[in-house]
Amino acid sequence: MAEQRTAPPTVYDVAAASGVSIATVSRVLRTPDAVREGTRDRVQAAIRLLGYVPSGNARALAGKRTGVIGLLLPGFDVVPDERPGLVTDGGVRVVDDRRHVTQPFASNLYFDEVLRGAETEAWQRGLALMVAAGRGPSRDVIVNDVAGRVDGLAVLAQTVPDELLEHVARRVPVVVLADDRRSHGFDSVSVDNAAGMRTLAAHVIGRLGIRSIAYVAGPIDSPDDQERSAGFRQALDDHGVEPRSVRTVHGDFGRARARELAVALLADSPPRAIVCSNDQSALGVLDAVLAAGLRVPDDIVVTGFDGIDAGRFSAPRLTTVHQPMGELGRAAVVAIVDRLERREGPPRAVRLPVEVLLRESCPPTL
Residue ranges in 149-188 that form contacts with a copy of itself under rule CB under 8 A:
149, 166-174, 184-187
Q: With CB under 7 A, what is the number of residues at the site for DNA?
A: 30
Q: Which of 41, 45, 49, 63 binds DNA (CB under 7 A)?
A: 63
Contact set for a copy of itself, span 327-346 (CB under 8 A): 343-344
CB distance 97 to 157 below 8 Å: no
Tell me the backbone φ, ψ of residue 29, rounded to 5 degrees.
-80, -40
Write down the least CB distance from residue 173 to DNA, Å: 16
Which of 17, 27, 265, 284 touches DNA by CB under 7 A? Answer: 27
Q: Using alpha carbons, select from 54, 27, 55 the residue that is nearest to residue 42.
A: 27
7: left (phi over 0), alpha (psi -120 to 50) or beta: beta
**Checking DSSP bridges between strand 320-322 and strand 86-89, what pairing results, if any?**
unpaired
Residue 106, φ and ψ in degrees, nearest 5: -50, -50
Q: Check: CB of residue 360 under 8 Å from CB of residue 297.
A: yes
Contact flag: residue 49 with DNA (CB under 7 A) = no
Is residue 44 at the binding interface for DNA, with CB under 7 A as the rule?
Answer: no
Are 114 and 73 contacting, i.e. CB atoms less than 8 angstroms apart?
A: yes
- Shorter beta-carbon distance to a copy of itself: residue 40 or 257: 40
Rounded CA separation 211/158 (Å): 37
| Cα–Cα distance for residue pair 59/185, rounded to 1 Å | 31
The only residue of 16, 59, 223, 338 in contact with a copy of itself, by rule CB under 8 A: 59
- Residue 48 found at the interface with DNA (CB under 7 A): no
Work out whether 199 is an interface residue with DNA (CB under 7 A): no
Q: Does 22 bind DNA (CB under 7 A)?
A: yes
67 vs 219 by CB, closer to a copy of itself = 67
Residue 22 near a copy of itself by CB under 8 A: no
**Chain residues that interact with DNA, rule: CB under 7 A:** 7-8, 10-12, 19-24, 26-27, 29-30, 34-36, 38-40, 52, 54-55, 58-59, 61-64
